Amino acid sequence: MISLFESTINEKVALAIFFPVDAGHGGVEGTQTATMVVRSIALGDVSRGVGTRLLTRGLSLRLINGAIPGVTVAPLIGYVCNGKPILAVVLVLAIQGDMLGAAVARAGIPLLLRRIGQYPAVYSAVFVITCTGILGFLSFLGLAAVFISLWL
């Protein structure tokens, strides 16, 4: 998969520095959310109709959780470290994309595992970290490829 973005990474090596900011934020925060959903399932607080509400709430909270570091830290990192504000924009958008896209995985994976008869506490964290890692990788490098070709 890295070979898809090899030219982008070669063009802007600074991207390798910024990627862990996006991926790390999504993975840690994702397992916390999945743990809360698994706890709710274990306590019997999640009935059949509550899943949609959990997903909706997760999306709105992730929008805020992605905006805070995106708006405060990413521009500082992008501008100070590299002098290219467009890379800060890429990081902000990637964090938002990762947060919103992975919100479904964070709440949805434990609910899906319960529905297919598997114990969510055993598998949720592994699947959530995998999903957020892939989403973070694709959103960050995908956006970087588009922005680099258009503006840099």
What predicted TM-score, i.e. pTM, was given to this entire model?
0.71
pLDDT band per the 50, 70, 90 thresholds, residue 82: low
First to last CA, the chain: 23
In the predicted structure, residue 84 carries a pLDDT above the cut 70: no
Question: What is the span of the domain harbouring residue 87?
Answer: 36-44+70-152
Asked, for residue 52, whether it belongs to a domain, the answer is no
Asked, for residue 49, whether it belongs to a domain, the answer is no
Q: Please give the full DSSP string across 47-104, using - where no structure is assigned.
A: -TTHHHHHHHHHHHHHHHHHHHHHHHHHHHHHHHHHS-HHHHHHHHHHHHHHHHHHHH
Asked, for residue 40, whether it belongs to a domain, the answer is yes
